[in-house]
Structure 1
Amino acid sequence: MAPVSALAKYKLVFLGDQSVALPVVPVSHSTNLEGLAIIAMELALENVTNTLATVEKLLGDESLDKYVMGCLTDCLELYSDAVWRIVDSVDVFLSGNYEVSRIWMSSVMEAASTCQQGFEEKGEVSPLTEENYNLFQLCGIALCIIHLSTPVTANAIPF
């Protein structure tokens, strides 16, 4: 069994009937860029899991019309995929594969846009506008920090 001090470095995130252990990054004034990237991805994950709960609640509302229910079902699928994409992004980021992490976080960002656009296609007001906007912004922040964390090679210098 792992020592308690080793276990304290992880927090358990519950995703429906499954759970994932993510590394805990203490928020402090001494956190480096990599730590900030993890924090941004964890905030995005928290947004996604909260939004999933909101979507599931809305799907139980029988007063919503069929089109809105279809959009919510699409958003449920997009956000469910986003959970695992963020978890995987954290893993590959921690392994030093920043490019894959950027690609996967970009796909999460796209999920928020796609969810929002589904409602707007037929002029519906999305009940998830704030959640989609927040996820889009959190992913943008994570992407910026991941980009700043990426080691610069001599060939990548643009001047």
Structure 2
Amino acid sequence: MKFFIYLMISLLLLSQYSNGSNLIFKSCNEASKNDPNLSYDFCVASLNEASCKSKSHPSKLEDLVGLSIRLTKSNGTNIISIISKHLKNQTHGEYVRACLQDCFDLYNDSLSSLEDAMVAFNESKDFDTANINVSAAMDDSVTCEDQFKEKKGESETSPLTKENHVYFQLNVISLAFIEMIRQRR
């Protein structure tokens, strides 16, 4: 009898994970078809990993929006830590250090924007405000990357190119899902 109960619970959990994973595949597929900035493979890999780590198994598109915003916030917090390490590195020149400080401020602002997006989305179902705030967070990563290219006479190589690109992609996922929900209402 205990074995039967264990088996039933295991099958139920497996089915929930499978349904959540299925939702991720389907949603990422639809989103990537509608947004040329969104990589299907990146979307699936990011959300499956986040779902496994958080032990939350999304059952509807709204769950994926929350999951993607939380994932982006976590990534942004990690980028702030990376920037802090770069700022402590005395081998960077003055211009790069100034850019890094700006990036630090931009990412702090973007985390606030993502928090505002989460509140707007979850509490008031204000998709326009959520969209605006996620877009602002996404723009912060672009601004961070672009400023390294603005040095007069020559551009500097950004030590954050990979991080900025990933952060941009994570925000694109959230925006695509918010838009999908908006279109279905």
Per the TM superposition, whether the score is higher than 0.5 is yes
Category of TM-score, reference length = shorter chain: 0.7 to 0.9
- The correspondence of residues 9-158 of structure 1 with structure 2, limited to 5 A, is 27-28=56-57, 31-95=59-123, 96-122=125-151, 123-150=155-182, 152=184
- Give the aligned residue type for 2:90: E
Cα distance in structure 1, aligned partners of 2:162 and 2:56: 25
- Give the aligned residue type for 2:110: A
Cα distance in structure 2, aligned partners of 1:149 and 1:94: 13
Gaps of 5+ in 1: 1-24, 154-159
| TM-score, structure 2 normalization | 0.66
Cα distance in structure 1, aligned partners of 2:109 and 2:135: 13
Cα distance in structure 2, aligned partners of 1:105 and 1:69: 27
Instruction: Indicate the residue corresponding to 1:17 in structure 2.
Output: none
Cα distance in structure 1, aligned partners of 2:59 and 2:178: 14
Q: CA RMSD in A?
A: 1.4
| TM-score, structure 1 normalization | 0.76
Cα distance in structure 2, aligned partners of 1:79 and 1:39: 19
Q: CA deviation at 1:54?
A: 0.5
1:120 aligns to what SS in structure 2? coil
Moved more, 107-116 or 30-39: 30-39
Cα distance in structure 2, aligned partners of 1:43 and 1:89: 13
Q: CA deviation at 1:120?
A: 1.6
Per-residue CA deviation, residues 99-132 of structure 1 (Å, 9 max, x unaligned), is: 1000000000100000000112231111110110
1:94 aligns to what SS in structure 2? helix
Instruction: Indicate the residue corresponding to 1:9 in structure 2.
Output: none
- Give the aligned residue type for 2:181: S
- Give the aligned residue type for 1:55: I
- Give the aligned residue type for 1:119: F
- Give the aligned residue type for 2:59: T
Task: Name the count of aligned residue pairs.
Answer: 128
Cα distance in structure 1, aligned partners of 2:179 and 2:87: 37
